[in-house]
Structure 1
Amino acid sequence: MARSIKKTRGLGRGLSALMSDVTQDETPAATPPRPDLMVPIEQVHPNPDQPRRTFAQDALDELAASIAEKGVIQPLIVRKSPEKAGTYEIVAGERRWRAAQIAKQHELPILVRDYNDTEVLEIAIIENIQRADLNPIDEAAGYRQLMDRFGHTQDQMATALGKSRSHIANLMRLLSLPDEIRNYLISGALSAGHARALIGHDQAVQLAREVIQRKLSVRETEKLAKKGPAIKKRAVPGAPVPKDADTVQIENELSATLRMKVTIDHKPNEEGGKMSISYTSLDQLDDLLRALSGH
């Protein structure tokens, strides 16, 4: 039977409030929060909609060894199960739950929160972003989900997650790269620094292959991107000039801020250019007019 330790406290619904309960499994806080309950481990079950599906076995075994010696120090965040009375659904901390089973623990410390389905998904995404072993593409996709599904801005995410706005913006730019390069990032064949140098380049894939083959540094990759691959494609008369990485970044940031597609046509070696904003409804147009007029 569960042993009550203290009354559950309420939380606000902002991103910072949600984030305040999410800590990395790998680096628990110096002074862990006092749990609300100690419950039998069989009364706790994972969130079926948890976006993270794989857990490295060697890392689980390492955590299990620590738990066997010291117990579960950092409480799991749970909510009362919407499916089965008397049980709890994990909101954050599934890795600790798995490791505790390996360590043959009988009880778990939990923090009980009154989250709805949307907030549970939001916290699951936040927890995944905080993983130490996350690749740049999955991290960027997490930021994109928080923006698209929950309306958070880059500034809000930077403040709540303890990241710089430039870190978030630079990672999100990687999502504009071709699938092949994104796969190189996921596998670790390319670093985020290498990939950023290729954003917006019309021969990005060919350059990426050359960077991997020649084992170039980030600085060497930047130089290669400026002069082009060793075997250049023939220029097609009338073909559009590829946009530089800075222009692509500005387009992405403005699009994220306005939540509308922004296109910038800046002619090389000239001061002027053209910016287009595409809206999909009259409501969006009204929002844009209000934003531009400062009302």
Structure 2
Amino acid sequence: MEKKVPKRTNRLGKGLSALIPDTANEIDEKEIMNIDLNKVYPNEEQPRRTFDEAKIQILSESIKNYGVLQPIVVKPDEKGKYMIIAGERRYRASKLANKDKIPVVVRDIPMKEIMEIALIENLQREDLNPIEEAIAYKSLIQNYHVTQEEISEAVGKSRPHITNTLRLLNLNEKIIEMIDEGILTAGHGKAILRVTNLELQLQLANKAIEEELSVREVERLAKKICEEKIEEIPKKEKIKDIFIVDVEERLRNVFGTKVSITKGKKKGKIEIEYYNDDDLNNIVSMILEEN
């Protein structure tokens, strides 16, 4: 008879309530403490690195009028202070509202479990940008030996989505920063991944930004780079002003050589080519010639 293997349960799916029962709905009022706000501090390993300041401002106005309706969850440290486990937005908004105290529920939970909570809670709420999301997945897999299948079940996202998001961390570090800062989309990043050379990746990313290329356009360009083994991406030539082109042509006729004019926002430059000392003397003579 075939032996049945017990199904592995996913400990991540319940999020915060798995380790802090009834936090959201039925907290015993005796557990709630009002402590000085200056004794509370964020978790430095919190996966979310950016916060929507507009939403924090709105929450701050609500706290000014009604107070903090749901206590934050904190962990006591050895110095008599409290690290935030859950509720950093409420903490930030309370500071903005100039509150002296904040309601808390104290839980002495191991750091390993706190990090699992923070990662899963943020992933479930979709509060993270693509790079923060990728780093959160990587942390769960490397530090807590969680499988992609477990993450998929816990956050309600497909396994391919998790795999492709993780792949963003293979990009050139500067491109990762661009996506993290919202300068480039995750879709552009995934298209650029087809190019394995990190320097070419950056050239392609810069081209996508400068020329406002769509994801599809970047995909086509990445395919061309790979198929034709392109080693350097040519920059798009800017269309010169008709007036500048006319002046260049007139100066060419005067000096008998190539003349280029580059126009900047505050200054420009004129380049006159020469090929030997005689050419240079002739050009200088024409420029200095008195009428």
SS at 1:14's partner residue?
coil
Query: RMSD of the TM alignment (CA)?
Result: 3.4
Contact 2:59 2:93 in 1 (8 A): yes
Report whether the alignment pairs 1:196 with 2:196. no
**Whole-Å separation in 1 of the counterparts to 2:218 and 2:154:** 33
Contact 2:175 2:202 in 1 (8 A): yes
Aligned to 1:262: none
**Whole-Å separation in 2 of the counterparts to 1:220 and 1:143:** 29
* Cα displacement string for residues 186-207 of structure 1 (whole angstroms, at most 9, x for unaligned residues): 2222111111111131432222
Q: Which is further off, 106-115 or 214-223?
A: 106-115
* Cα displacement string for residues 230-271 of structure 1 (whole angstroms, at most 9, x for unaligned residues): x97359xxxxxxxxxxxxxxxxxxxxxxxxxxxxxxxxxxxx
Aligned to 2:74: 78
Contact 1:19 1:160 in 2 (8 A): no
Aligned to 1:218: 215
CA separation of 1:195 and 1:103: change in aligned 2, threshold 3 A: same
Aligned to 1:101: 95
Contact 1:35 1:75 in 2 (8 A): no
Contact 2:12 2:150 in 1 (8 A): yes
Q: 1:209 aligns with which of 200, 206, 209?
A: 206
Aligned to 1:34: 26
**Whole-Å separation in 2 of the counterparts to 1:107 and 1:130:** 29
CA separation of 1:113 and 1:162: change in aligned 2, threshold 3 A: farther
Contact 2:73 2:106 in 1 (8 A): yes
SS at 2:165's partner residue?
helix
**Whole-Å separation in 2 of the counterparts to 1:35 and 1:106:** 23
Q: Structure 1 length as normaliser, TM-score? A: 0.61
SS at 2:36's partner residue?
helix
CA separation of 1:166 and 1:74: change in aligned 2, threshold 3 A: farther
**Whole-Å separation in 1 of the counterparts to 2:222 and 2:17:** 41
Q: Which is further off, 95-104 or 13-22?
A: 13-22
Contact 2:34 2:101 in 1 (8 A): yes
Aligned to 1:68: 64
**Whole-Å separation in 2 of the counterparts to 1:98 and 1:199:** 37
Aligned to 2:272: none
Q: Structure 2 length as normaliser, TM-score? A: 0.61
**Whole-Å separation in 2 of the counterparts to 1:148 and 1:112:** 28
1:1-295 matches, within 5 Å, as 14-20=11-17, 32-36=24-28, 37-42=31-36, 45-47=40-42, 49-51=44-46, 55=51, 57-79=53-75, 81-84=76-79, 88-105=82-99, 108-129=102-123, 134-202=128-196, 203-228=200-225, 233=230
Aligned to 2:235: none
**Whole-Å separation in 2 of the counterparts to 1:132 and 1:18:** 13
Amino acid at match of 1:210: K
**Whole-Å separation in 2 of the counterparts to 1:221 and 1:179:** 18
Contact 2:35 2:103 in 1 (8 A): no
Contact 1:35 1:110 in 2 (8 A): no
Amino acid at match of 2:211: R
SS at 2:59's partner residue?
helix
**Whole-Å separation in 1 of the counterparts to 2:26 and 2:94:** 18
**Whole-Å separation in 1 of the counterparts to 2:73 and 2:123:** 16
**1:59 Cα shift?**
3.8
**Whole-Å separation in 2 of the counterparts to 1:64 and 1:21:** 29
Q: Which is further off, 90-99 or 43-52?
A: 43-52
Contact 2:178 2:184 in 1 (8 A): yes
Q: Would you identify which runs of 4 or more consecutive aligned residues in structure 1 move more than 6 Å?
A: none
Q: Which has the larger radius of gyration?
A: 2
Say which structure is richer in helix.
2
SS at 1:228's partner residue?
helix
SS at 2:13's partner residue?
helix
Amino acid at match of 1:35: I
Amino acid at match of 1:83: E
